[in-house]
Structure formats: C-alpha cells, structure tokens
Amino acid sequence: MTGQDTSHLLERMTIVGDLEAASFVPWIRRHAAKLGLSHTISHTSPMRIELEVAGPEELIDMMEMGCSLGPIDVWVEGIERTTIIGERA
C-alpha cells in the first residue's frame, strides 16, 4: 500500500499498580517482542515498572492496551506515556 503513515516513536511507558507478580516483566518482554517493538526496561518495583518502547505508534498503542489488561496476577492502575522522540519516515 502506498501513502501509509510510517511514523516511529520512542516512548517512555510508566506502569503503576500492584505489579508484584514475577511473571509480569517476562510477559512485557514477550508481548513487546510479539509486536516487533524495541524495548528496554529501566526500572522495576512492586508498584512501578518503567520501560522505553520504540516502533510505530499503533503498535505502541497495542502494547499499552496489552499491559493494561496484563496477566491475571497483576493489577494495573494506570499507564503514563511520554514521547521521547517522534519521527516520520
């Protein structure tokens, strides 16, 4: 298809809630990989996880939705996204 929006972003995603489950960080890594997003987890605690994700905006939106629903053993109260770099190809 021609004329597609090919914007790529680098965003910081801060996830807050009851995130104590040891399964959540590996789950985040697998979900990002399935979506083809580059990602780096910079902070983890039982109440907050910070990561940077890079890729098309639509896929980052999907990552946010997936994390908000997450595995059953975590409770995500909120996700804050901050754009670090935005570019259009």
Q: Please tell me the pTM assigned to this model.
A: 0.86
Q: What gap in Å lies between CA 66 and CA 62, rounded to an integer? A: 6
CB-based contact 12:50 (threshold 8 Å): yes
Query: What are the structure tokens assigned to 50, written together?
Result: 């910070």
Q: What is the pLDDT along the chain (89 residues), one digit of tens a residue?
A: 444 555 789 999 999 999 988 999 999 999 999 999 999 999 999 999 999 999 999 999 999 999 999 889 999 999 999 999 876 44
Q: What angle do CA 41, 43, 46 make, to 5 degrees?
A: 115
CATH 3.30.565.10 correct for 7-88: no
Residue 79's alpha-carbon distances to 5, 23, 63, 64, 88, in angstroms, are 25, 18, 11, 7, 24
